[in-house]
């Protein structure tokens, strides 16, 4: 491993520990349980990957961790939407349907894919499929930010902390989608693609840490847009 990747790895490990500690210290693990679980699994996955880096079956460890982490990020975004829809009686059905739709679409697009843009050896096809699946899940998780913003707008809920945490997810998942796509297009783009994935992960951790440290959860009462706001327009 090159010195640059070692520096990135150490920096990521430090940021991960800081993020877990902040969520614990601020009590945010109760408000954002899936994001806290993701942070714990991310820390554990990093240790496992470093310990198995020189092993022949490293790819199996990497992709197992990757899919688990992608699912946890997806659950994190769905939980954000669930919280944003607090006063929607159908919020459970809506969140479940969105989650199922994303899972089916992501797996289907990875399975029913056209010929690879570059030749892929038979022993590398599993890696190619997992890259596709990870890219699709990342793209769908990033799109969930739009659903979240729409939900917060509809209920006039100003939750800056949740929005910034979701923005961190968007940065990370968008970077992963771009990086994985580059890796599939051309082998020469593998290192730039991996770099985008790593840098986007570091930026996401920085945003999450800032959001936990500097911002507070919303304490305002949400209200749908079609519900009138109290005013004194009829006074007198």
**pLDDT category of residue 24 using cuts at 50, 70 and 90:** very high
**Mean of pLDDT over the chain:** 80
Lookup: tokens for 138: 């990342």
**Residue 54 half-sphere exposure, CB side, CA atoms within 13 Å?**
2
The three-class DSSP label of residue 20 is helix
In a domain, 233, yes or no: no
pLDDT at 22 over 60: yes
Residue-number span of the structural domain to which 143 is assigned: 3-214
Give the distance between the most distant pair of CA atoms in the chain. 81
Examine residue 34 and state whether it is found in any structural domain, yes or no: yes
Question: Dihedral of the CA atoms 188, 16, 137, 7 (nearest 10)?
Answer: 0
CA distance 13 to 44: 10
236 part of a folded domain: no
Q: At 167, which CATH number?
A: 1.20.1070
**9-13, 54-58, 94-98, 121-125: which is most confident:** 9-13
* Residue, of 34 and 151, whose pLDDT is higher: 34
227 inside domain: no
Which of 88, 73, 5, 68 lies closest to 34, judged by CA? 73
Residue 32 belongs to some domain of the structure: yes
In the chain, which ranges are continuous DSSP H helix?
3-26, 28-31, 33-51, 58-84, 91-111, 125-154, 160-185, 190-214
Provide the domain count of the chain: 1
For 74-125, the pLDDT digits (tens) are 889 889 888 888 777 788 888 888 888 877 777 766 666 555 555 666 556 6
229 within domain boundaries: no
- pLDDT digit string (tens) for 150-159? 887 777 677 8
Is the pLDDT confidence value at 182 over 80?
Answer: yes
With cut-offs at 50, 70 and 90, classify the pLDDT of residue 16. very high
- Within-domain flag for 235: no
Query: Residue 188 pLDDT > 90, yes or no?
Result: no
Rounded to whole angstroms, how far apart are CA atoms 43 and 80?
A: 22
- Residue 231 pLDDT > 70: no
* Residue 232 located in a structural domain: no
Confidence band for 163, pLDDT divided at 50, 70 and 90: confident
């Amino acid at each position: 491993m090159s010195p640059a990747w070692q520096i990135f790895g150490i920096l990521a490990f430090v940021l991960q520990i800081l993020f877990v500690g902040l969520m614990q210290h601020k009590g945010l693990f109760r408000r954002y349980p899936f994001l806290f679980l993701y942070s714990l699994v991310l820390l554990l996955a990093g240790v496992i990957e470093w310990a198995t880096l020189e092993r022949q079956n490293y790819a199996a460890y990497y992709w197992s961790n990757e899919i688990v982490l992608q699912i946890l990020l997806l659950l994190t975004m769905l939980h954000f939407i669930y919280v944003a829809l607090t006063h929607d009686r159908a919020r459970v059905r809506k969140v479940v349907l969105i989650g199922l739709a994303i899972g089916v679409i992501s797996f289907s697009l990875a399975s029913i894919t056209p010929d690879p843009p570059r030749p892929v050896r038979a022993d590398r096809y599993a890696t190619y499929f997992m890259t596709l699946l990870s890219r699709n899940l990342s793209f769908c998780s990033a799109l969930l930010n739009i659903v979240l913003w729409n939900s917060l707008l509809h209920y006039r809920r100003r939750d800056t902390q949740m929005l910034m945490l979701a923005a961190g997810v968007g940065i990370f998942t968008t970077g992963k989608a771009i990086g994985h796509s580059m890796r599939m297009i051309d082998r020469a783009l593998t290192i730039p693609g991996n770099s985008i994935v790593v840098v986007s992960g570091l930026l996401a951790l920085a945003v999450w840490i800032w959001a936990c440290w500097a911002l507070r959860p919303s304490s305002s009462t949400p209200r749908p847009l079609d519900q009138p706001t109290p005013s004194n327009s009829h006074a007198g």
